[in-house]
Chains A and B, each alone.
Chain A
């Protein structure tokens, strides 16, 4: 049983919505929103279907689809034919991320209802962004990956530049410059790999590079390429000190876009590090793990300490994202089963938790036009339900057992303690600091008497359901992590070899 084109449908279904939207008049707010939401649904349902059928025992390989796309070069002169195919495929990790993307896109499309003007342009770009994100995780070759990667960049640039808050244009340019540099470096790496091996197919590259004993690339070149990948994806993740662009995006982009930015886009960095960095150059990766671990600890503590002194919830969460991405790095630094699995769990878990936070921020912003701790103080009185969700999101974020963040943190630390116990002990400071800054932020907002007594309505029943869906996912993974660990396991076995 094969489904060769199911992935193509998943990736390009939002494009259909985009085309439909071109036909709708830009004043028809309701129609635009309905079309947009509906066109995120096919990808969501189909990726759920894929997950379920893979659980039922269908091989993931059978989803791969391939079309011959372009070929060039003369085999007689160069000894090989350079071909780039259109090929999509998934493994356990990318399938999980595909589902995460589809889910968060639907919820973010819903959260985008708060956009006050320019719905048509907004939703067209939004759907384009979704195509890009889905494509990144489904791409089976580097050229395709790069194209989708750039699509997400272009879409976010315009979404932030036009619909962002006060400093939207500066932020958009900052995003463009940083990610542009990252993309340029990534492109160089891709070209070098392609030129030397004649293929851009990820799996083929993995087998060529892992079998390579220095004939294709000398170990030094490999280390160089890996470092280039670290920088390219490190900017995206972000790894300290390349993080300042994402702090800006967190504080200036519309909340619904930050849901996707923190929930999915940053994860491309982690995905790239794991898939390409570790997948292509496992030996070189091994020799760099100490540095990766140190950077991870810096991320973890630096983010936590800075989150401690912020007043603006968005900024606290931005630094919190930096801190939490440190967990991904230390998991990878451990480079054992527990560590890698922890890193992957953290990618998924932080995606869900960050999305929940920014979903709530969108709701606060609509009512208070602010997400500063001072303005929201005493929220438990005016918005008890929203405060409850905020508290739960905070607890999930500080790694409370029973929720997804704990599983990720626990596995990453379990792994790190085996390989680098001293680093791990230092990193443990982060566990305490996370509790400190999260409680400071959450209690600062929910507790206390509201002085600026402003009567607002609590979350409406319609607004509650996206929060509940996210919460169910977070708790589901936390209570029974085997749900996704069995899906993730397939790739770890592949990588560990």
Chain B
């Protein structure tokens, strides 16, 4: 099965092409067709994962491009990390396909939507299967396009256009870092292959400065894709896309690609302490920074988006402090519970036709399925014991503590408190409280939407048990066999870390309950005491405004200066040329005025000059 793993991305590609070309006819059948293809792709991925439990890694390549003596190859590879990713991606993709069938019903461009989903899934699966950096980069850009197309799906909305453009350009800034890092690494190692890069590292062929430089450049790519500070601001705006897209791309898969990239190149990063520390600091800072913004957002999807940014920061932090398994583990559990939260949010939006949480409320009784699902997701992400998020978050905290980065550990604990608070704030505002009149007609969504949520909810509960301090560390042991870098399958941390994490989570929940459900504490308690801080946070620290001022205005300014150069300097140059030619021709025409005296003078002067020349050169001309 592993030898034909390349077939997995081809199903969604086929779905993309068919829907694109024949999209206008035979609609309903085509959508079922797309859903079935995504299911087939998932089943194949599952088979590959099972095969990988018993067999060795597989790698197949062919020549893609020849540069002189160097041959660049393309192909695919199956190892533990990407076998796991294959399943996550294809599963979430399948569930989102299913969900979208109901969610997008009635949209006249539904086949376009499904074809874009196919393109994205193809690219994401291709990314995961890539055996070398160049191919990774190729699919890396393609997932960006898939994301771009889906964010801009509602093309008539100005916000969608702006958000799509912003997402593409901001991630491209990161991609340039990745490109430079990749090329520099190529000239050092002589190959884009992961294997050969790792071999060069363990042979000591790469200087530490160069490793640090390339690792940080590649990390910039991951920063862009995974919405880490300072390239995070595209991700909340990306919520302009349809909600299933937010679940698939901007929660579970593409944004995790940055984390995946760092994990896939882990030996390179682990080789450089500076690079590791950079990752840990960026991740830790992003985790708490985004969590603070998440507490103030009034749009359900944007609040979830900031939560995603914060959780991705967690994963980066884990990788940065040496918690390879912790990072990948949290990536896995987060994919399930965040996709669940987005799908549940989509179900709510679908029912009440607004994204403003202030206008929601009292939906617990109305949405008998969605509400408990959302609660499960909320509990999982908050780190309520025995749910998946609890185990993976604990793993990260232990890694941070054991590595000795106590400041980062503290940040992570505080961020965990914020997370529990803002997630339950969302839950109480949306589902708690009195039923609103305008929502009397609200109905639960159809089975096409609830079944995918059910699957994700189950996974959000149980996925944590693949790596627990109590029942064994299966995931960690499996992931770390044969990894070149020095990583641990599991770290034994002090028991109090788990207790602190649990207490902090419950404190956050308690505070949210007191503020938004019981209303014992006024909602304005904080805002009225620190209005300026609140303004700063609610405006997302004015980062968009700063970027607007520096980069957008800056490039416009340069553009105008150069426009000035073009109009006055370059055009002036042409005028100079044409004027010179015209003057010369006028001078020439003056000689042809019909006066024989002038002609005689010219002839005489010319002859005189020739004689002088002849005399001076001695006739040797």
A residues sitting closer than 8 Å to B (CB atoms) are: 174, 177-178, 181, 241, 243-245, 302, 305-306, 308-309, 337-338, 341, 378, 380-381, 395, 400-402, 406-407, 410-411, 413-414, 417-418, 421, 424-425, 428, 431-433, 435-436, 439-440, 443, 446-449, 480-482, 485-486, 489, 492, 496
Q: Check B156–A439 contact: CB distance below 8 A.
A: no
Q: Of the candidates A380, A401, A417, which one forms a contact with B155 in the assembled complex, judged by CB atoms under 8 Å apart?
A: A380
In the complex, the 8 A-B pairs of residues with the closest C-beta atoms, listed nearest first = A337-B68, A401-B138, A447-B161, A309-B559, A308-B559, A305-B559, A417-B183, A481-B65
A413 to B152, CA, bound (A): 30
In the complex, what distance in Å separates the CA atom of A431 from the CA atom of B571?
A: 27
Q: Is B180 in contact with A305, judged by CB distance below 8 angstroms?
A: no
Chain B contacts for A381, CB-based, 8 A: 156
Name B42-97 residues within 8 Å CB distance of A. 63-68, 70
Q: Are A433 and B66 in contact (CB under 8 A)?
A: no
A244 touches B66 (CB 8 A): no
Q: Which of A245, A424, A431, A443 is the one whose CB lies under 8 Å from B172?
A: A431
Q: For A435, give its contact among B70, B169, B570 (CB under 8 Å).
A: B169
Nearest B-chain residue to A174, judged by Cβ: B574
Instruction: Given A308-B556, A447-B155, A486-B66, verify A244-B164 contact (CB < 8 Å).
Output: no
Name which of A302, A435, A485 has the most chain B CB atoms within 10 A of its CB: A435
Q: Which residues of A contact B67 (CB under 8 A)?
A: 337-338, 341, 411, 414, 485
B277 within 8 A of partner (CB): no
26 A-B pairs in the complex with CB atoms less than 8 angstroms apart: A177-B577, A241-B569, A241-B570, A305-B555, A380-B156, A381-B156, A402-B142, A406-B141, A411-B65, A417-B187, A431-B176, A433-B555, A435-B168, A436-B555, A443-B152, A443-B165, A447-B155, A447-B156, A448-B155, A448-B156, A449-B156, A480-B64, A481-B64, A482-B66, A485-B65, A485-B66
B interface, how many residues as a size bin?
Answer: 35 or more
Give the nearest-CB partner of A395 in chain B: B145
* Set of chain B residues within 8 Å of A428, measured between Cβ atoms: 176, 179-180
Decide: A407 and B156 in contact? CB cutoff 8 A: no
* A400-B142 contact, Cβ under 8 Å, with A381-B156, A482-B63: yes
Contact yes or no, B142 A401, CB < 8 A = yes
A181 & B577 in contact (Cβ 8 Å cutoff) = yes
The complex places the Cα of A486 from the Cα of B139 at a distance, in Å, of: 24
Give residues of chain B (146-177) contacting chain A, Cβ–Cβ below 8 Å: 152, 155-156, 158, 160-161, 164-165, 168-169, 172-173, 175-176
Q: Check if B184 is an interface residue, CB within 8 A of chain A.
A: yes
By a CB distance below 8 angstroms, the chain B residues around A433 are 555
The residue from B165, B173, B560 contacting A309, defined by CB atoms under 8 A apart:
B560
Smallest Cβ distance from A185 to chain B, in angstroms?
A: 13
User: What secondary structure prevails in chain B residues at the interface with A?
Assistant: helix
Residues of A within 8 A of B569 (CB): 241
CB neighbours (8 Å) of B168 from chain A are 435, 439
A432 to B558, CA, bound (A): 15
Asked if B522 is at the interface of the complex by the 8 Å CB criterion, the answer is no
Q: Is the interface of A mostly helix, strand, loop or mixed?
A: helix
B14 within 8 Å of A (CB atoms) = no
Distance of A8 Cα from B540 Cα, bound (Å): 68
Option from A306, A378, A402, A418 in Cβ contact (under 8 Å) with B566 = A306
Query: Are A413 and B145 touching (Cβ within 8 A)?
Result: no
User: For the complex, what is the distance from the CA of A418 to the CA of B175, rounded to whole Å?
Assistant: 19
Q: Are B169 and A439 in contact (CB under 8 A)?
A: yes
Min C-beta distance of A401 to chain B, whole Å: 4
A-B contact sample (17 more), CB < 8 A, given A378-B156, A436-B169, A443-B165 = A241-B573, A244-B574, A306-B562, A337-B70, A380-B155, A395-B145, A401-B142, A411-B65, A413-B179, A414-B186, A431-B172, A443-B152, A443-B164, A447-B152, A448-B155, A448-B158, A492-B68
Instruction: Check B448 for interface membership: any CB of A closer than 8 A.
Output: no
B577 and A244 contact, CB distance less than 8 A: no
Residues of B within 8 A of A400 (CB): 141-142, 145
Chain B residues, Cβ within 8 Å of A418: 187
Residue of B67, B138, B141 ringed by the most chain A CB atoms within 10 A:
B67
Q: Tell me whether B574 and A431 are in contact (CB under 8 A).
A: no
A401-B137 CB under 8 A given contacts A181-B577, A425-B180: yes
Chain A residue at minimal CB-CB distance from B183: A417
Q: Which residues of A have CB within 8 Å of B172?
A: 431-432, 435
Give, as a whole number of angstroms, the nearest-CB distance from B238 to chain A: 15
* B165 proximity list for chain A (CB < 8 A): 439-440, 443
A448 engages B161 (CB within 8 Å): yes
Most A-side CB within 10 Å, residue of B65, B562, B570, B577: B65
- B residues sitting closer than 8 Å to A (CB atoms) are 63-68, 70, 134, 137-139, 141-142, 145, 152, 155-156, 158, 160-161, 164-165, 168-169, 172-173, 175-176, 179-180, 183-184, 186-187, 555-556, 558-560, 562-563, 566, 569-571, 573-574, 577-578, 581
Residue of A at shortest CB range from B561?
Answer: A305
A440 to B173, CA, bound (A): 16
- Within the assembled complex, what's the spacing in Å between the Cα atoms of A164 and B346? 53
How far apart are the CA atoms of A406 and B139 in the complex, in Å? Answer: 12
- B158 and A306 contact, CB distance less than 8 A: no
With CB as the reference atom, state the residue of chain B lying closest to A407. Answer: B65
Chain A minimum-CB-distance residue to B563: A309
- For A414, what are the chain B residues with a Cβ–Cβ distance below 8 Å? 67, 183, 186
Residue in B closest to A409 when the chains form the complex, CB atoms: B179
**Inter-subunit contact A244/B571 (CB<8 Å):** yes
B residues less than 8 Å from A413 (CB atoms):
179, 183
Most B CB contacts (10 A, CB to CB) among A378, A395, A401, A410 go to A401
For B577, the closest partner residue in chain A by CB is: A177
- Expressed in whole angstroms, the Cα–Cα distance for A418 and B496 within the complex equals 52
Complex Cα–Cα for A131 and B547 (A):
52
In the complex, the answer to whether A401 meets B141 with C-beta atoms within 8 Å is yes
Residues in B neighbouring A410, C-beta threshold 8 A = 134, 179
Q: How far is the CB of A180 from chain B (nearest CB, A)?
A: 9
Tell me the complex Cα distance, A480–B556, Å. 37
Whether A306 contacts B155 by the Cβ 8 Å rule is: no
Q: Identify which of B184, B558, B581 contacts A305 (C-beta below 8 A).
A: B558
Contact A306 B156 (CB under 8 A): no
Question: Is A432 in contact with B65, judged by CB distance below 8 angstroms?
Answer: no
Looking at B134, B164, B570, the one whose CB has the most chain A CB atoms below 10 A away is: B570
Give bound CA distance, A305 to B165, whole Å.
17
List chain B residues, Cβ under 8 A from A380. 155-156
Shortest beta-carbon distance from B141 to chain A in Å? 5
Taking a contact as CB atoms closer than 8 A, the residue among A245, A406, A411, A480 that contacts B138 in the complex is: A406
Q: Which residues of A contact B158 (CB under 8 A)?
A: 447-448
- Please tell me if the beta carbons of B578 and A177 are within 8 angstroms of each other in the complex: yes
Task: Give the CA-CA distance A58 to B569 in the complex, in Å.
Answer: 52
Task: Please tell me if the beta carbons of B64 and A482 are within 8 angstroms of each other in the complex.
Answer: yes
CA distance A440 to B556 in the complex (A): 13
In chain B, what residue has the closest Cβ to A241?
B570
Determine if A306 and B563 form an interchain contact, defined as CB atoms under 8 angstroms apart.
Answer: yes
Chain A residues whose CB sits within 8 angstroms of the CB of B65 once the complex forms: 407, 411, 481-482, 485
**By the criterion CB–CB under 8 Å, are B555 and A489 in contact?**
no
Shortest CB-to-CB span from A101 to chain B, Å, is 24
In whole angstroms, what is the CA distance A413 to B67 when docked? 13
In contact, A443 and B161 (Cβ under 8 angstroms): yes
Set B134, B156, B169: member contacting A432, Cβ < 8 A: B169
